[in-house]
Amino acid sequence: MKKTILTLVITMLAALATAQNAKVPENITIKTLDGKTVETSIIQNNGKPIIISFWATWCKPCNRELNAIKEVYEEWQEETGVKLVAISIDDTRSASKVKPHVDGNGWEYEVYLDQNQDFKRAMNVVNVPHTFLLNGKGEIVWQHTSYVDGSEEELFELVKKIANGEEI
Protein backbone atom coordinates (compact mmCIF):
# COMPACT_ATOMS: atom_id res chain seq x y z
CA MET A 1 0.00 0.00 0.00
CA LYS A 2 2.77 2.41 0.97
CA LYS A 3 4.55 1.67 -2.31
CA THR A 4 1.39 2.42 -4.24
CA ILE A 5 0.99 5.79 -2.53
CA LEU A 6 4.64 6.58 -3.15
CA THR A 7 4.31 5.75 -6.86
CA LEU A 8 1.22 7.93 -7.13
CA VAL A 9 2.82 10.87 -5.41
CA ILE A 10 6.02 10.68 -7.44
CA THR A 11 4.24 10.48 -10.77
CA MET A 12 1.98 13.33 -9.74
CA LEU A 13 4.92 15.50 -8.76
CA ALA A 14 6.75 14.64 -11.96
CA ALA A 15 3.73 15.64 -13.97
CA LEU A 16 3.29 18.85 -12.01
CA ALA A 17 6.76 20.09 -12.72
CA THR A 18 7.41 22.07 -15.84
CA ALA A 19 10.49 21.68 -17.93
CA GLN A 20 12.08 25.10 -17.36
CA ASN A 21 15.20 25.50 -15.22
CA ALA A 22 14.60 25.54 -11.49
CA LYS A 23 15.06 28.83 -9.67
CA VAL A 24 16.42 29.42 -6.21
CA PRO A 25 13.55 29.48 -3.69
CA GLU A 26 13.04 33.07 -2.59
CA ASN A 27 11.37 32.63 0.77
CA ILE A 28 13.90 30.68 2.83
CA THR A 29 15.08 32.41 6.00
CA ILE A 30 18.85 32.95 6.38
CA LYS A 31 20.92 35.34 8.51
CA THR A 32 23.50 37.98 7.75
CA LEU A 33 26.81 37.88 9.61
CA ASP A 34 25.65 40.66 11.95
CA GLY A 35 22.56 38.73 13.00
CA LYS A 36 19.87 40.15 10.72
CA THR A 37 17.18 37.76 9.49
CA VAL A 38 16.64 37.97 5.72
CA GLU A 39 15.03 35.90 3.01
CA THR A 40 16.83 34.22 0.13
CA SER A 41 15.17 36.72 -2.26
CA ILE A 42 18.05 39.02 -1.15
CA ILE A 43 20.36 37.02 -3.45
CA GLN A 44 20.24 39.35 -6.49
CA ASN A 45 22.74 40.67 -8.99
CA ASN A 46 20.94 42.98 -11.46
CA GLY A 47 20.68 40.45 -14.26
CA LYS A 48 24.31 39.35 -13.95
CA PRO A 49 25.41 35.77 -13.09
CA ILE A 50 25.54 34.60 -9.48
CA ILE A 51 27.63 31.83 -7.91
CA ILE A 52 26.14 30.29 -4.76
CA SER A 53 28.64 28.26 -2.78
CA PHE A 54 27.65 26.13 0.21
CA TRP A 55 30.58 25.78 2.61
CA ALA A 56 31.58 25.33 6.27
CA THR A 57 34.48 26.68 8.33
CA TRP A 58 35.73 23.14 9.01
CA CYS A 59 35.60 22.01 5.36
CA LYS A 60 39.10 22.07 3.86
CA PRO A 61 38.14 21.82 0.15
CA CYS A 62 35.56 24.61 0.68
CA ASN A 63 38.23 26.86 2.13
CA ARG A 64 40.64 26.03 -0.68
CA GLU A 65 37.95 26.92 -3.21
CA LEU A 66 36.96 30.22 -1.61
CA ASN A 67 40.61 31.18 -1.08
CA ALA A 68 41.47 30.36 -4.69
CA ILE A 69 38.56 32.41 -6.05
CA LYS A 70 39.54 35.28 -3.74
CA GLU A 71 42.78 35.69 -5.72
CA VAL A 72 40.88 36.24 -8.98
CA TYR A 73 37.53 37.56 -7.75
CA GLU A 74 38.22 41.16 -8.71
CA GLU A 75 39.08 40.16 -12.29
CA TRP A 76 36.01 37.94 -12.48
CA GLN A 77 33.78 40.77 -11.34
CA GLU A 78 35.30 43.29 -13.75
CA GLU A 79 35.01 40.94 -16.68
CA THR A 80 31.56 39.44 -16.08
CA GLY A 81 29.87 41.28 -13.20
CA VAL A 82 29.51 37.93 -11.39
CA LYS A 83 28.77 37.87 -7.66
CA LEU A 84 29.68 35.06 -5.29
CA VAL A 85 27.32 34.34 -2.42
CA ALA A 86 28.78 32.00 0.21
CA ILE A 87 26.27 30.11 2.39
CA SER A 88 27.75 28.77 5.61
CA ILE A 89 26.12 25.60 6.94
CA ASP A 90 28.05 25.80 10.25
CA ASP A 91 25.88 24.99 13.26
CA THR A 92 26.09 26.50 16.75
CA ARG A 93 29.40 24.79 17.33
CA SER A 94 31.12 27.05 14.80
CA ALA A 95 28.55 29.59 13.56
CA SER A 96 29.94 32.36 15.75
CA LYS A 97 33.35 31.75 14.11
CA VAL A 98 32.05 32.37 10.60
CA LYS A 99 32.46 36.16 10.58
CA PRO A 100 35.98 36.02 12.09
CA HIS A 101 36.81 33.28 9.57
CA VAL A 102 35.55 35.29 6.60
CA ASP A 103 37.34 38.49 7.67
CA GLY A 104 40.50 36.68 8.74
CA ASN A 105 40.74 35.10 5.31
CA GLY A 106 40.03 38.45 3.68
CA TRP A 107 37.02 37.21 1.69
CA GLU A 108 34.89 39.92 0.11
CA TYR A 109 31.93 37.71 -0.71
CA GLU A 110 28.36 38.14 0.41
CA VAL A 111 28.11 35.59 3.22
CA TYR A 112 25.00 34.25 4.95
CA LEU A 113 24.38 31.75 7.74
CA ASP A 114 22.08 28.79 7.18
CA GLN A 115 22.24 27.38 10.71
CA ASN A 116 18.97 25.46 10.54
CA GLN A 117 20.03 24.21 7.08
CA ASP A 118 16.66 25.11 5.53
CA PHE A 119 18.39 26.54 2.46
CA LYS A 120 20.72 23.55 2.23
CA ARG A 121 17.74 21.19 2.22
CA ALA A 122 15.77 23.30 -0.26
CA MET A 123 18.75 23.21 -2.65
CA ASN A 124 19.32 19.46 -2.14
CA VAL A 125 22.88 19.92 -0.98
CA VAL A 126 24.30 16.65 0.39
CA ASN A 127 28.06 17.25 0.64
CA VAL A 128 30.04 20.49 0.93
CA PRO A 129 31.38 22.21 -1.09
CA HIS A 130 28.41 22.41 -3.44
CA THR A 131 28.38 25.22 -5.96
CA PHE A 132 25.51 26.55 -8.08
CA LEU A 133 25.70 28.88 -11.06
CA LEU A 134 22.70 31.11 -11.78
CA ASN A 135 22.12 32.99 -15.00
CA GLY A 136 20.84 36.57 -15.22
CA LYS A 137 17.25 35.40 -14.83
CA GLY A 138 18.11 33.66 -11.58
CA GLU A 139 17.78 30.17 -13.05
CA ILE A 140 20.11 27.42 -11.88
CA VAL A 141 22.04 26.48 -15.01
CA TRP A 142 24.84 24.43 -13.49
CA GLN A 143 25.79 22.81 -10.20
CA HIS A 144 28.76 20.91 -8.93
CA THR A 145 29.85 19.18 -5.76
CA SER A 146 33.54 18.95 -4.65
CA TYR A 147 36.51 21.18 -5.29
CA VAL A 148 39.89 20.29 -6.73
CA ASP A 149 42.60 22.93 -7.15
CA GLY A 150 42.17 24.57 -10.51
CA SER A 151 38.50 23.76 -11.00
CA GLU A 152 37.67 27.43 -10.36
CA GLU A 153 39.09 28.11 -13.84
CA GLU A 154 36.49 25.79 -15.31
CA LEU A 155 33.78 27.57 -13.33
CA PHE A 156 34.93 30.91 -14.72
CA GLU A 157 34.71 29.63 -18.30
CA LEU A 158 31.05 28.88 -17.58
CA VAL A 159 30.49 32.25 -15.91
CA LYS A 160 31.86 34.00 -19.02
CA LYS A 161 29.50 32.05 -21.26
CA ILE A 162 26.54 32.90 -19.06
CA ALA A 163 27.55 36.56 -18.94
CA ASN A 164 27.57 36.56 -22.75
CA GLY A 165 24.11 35.05 -22.80
CA GLU A 166 25.31 31.70 -24.19
CA GLU A 167 23.78 28.37 -23.25
CA ILE A 168 25.88 25.90 -21.27
The distance of closest approach from Cβ of residue 108 to another protein in the complex, given in angstroms and rounded to an integer, is 8
By CB under 8 A, what part of segment 97-136 binds another protein?
Answer: 97, 99-106, 115-118, 121-130
* Residue 45 binds another protein (CB under 8 A): no
Q: Which of 42, 44, 58, 72 binds another protein (CB under 8 A)?
A: 58
Count of beta carbons in the 10 Å neighbourhood of residue 64: 15
Distances (CA, A) of 14 to 6, 23, 123, 140, 157: 12, 17, 17, 18, 32
Helix (H, G, I), strand (E, B) or coil at 70: helix
* Residue 44 binds another protein (CB under 8 A): no
The distance of closest approach from Cβ of residue 121 to another protein in the complex, given in angstroms and rounded to an integer, is 8
Q: Which of 12, 42, 72, 168 binds another protein (CB under 8 A)?
A: 12
Does the CA dihedral 46-167-70-29 come out positive or negative?
positive
57 within 8 A of 94, measured Cβ to Cβ: yes
Q: Which of 44, 72, 145, 168 binds another protein (CB under 8 A)?
A: 145
The distance of closest approach from Cβ of residue 24 to another protein in the complex, given in angstroms and rounded to an integer, is 10
Q: Which of 47, 60, 72, 137 binds another protein (CB under 8 A)?
A: 60
Distances (CA, A) of 122 to 48, 109, 125: 23, 22, 8
81 within 8 A of 45, measured Cβ to Cβ: yes
Q: Which of 45, 77, 80, 143 binds another protein (CB under 8 A)?
A: 143
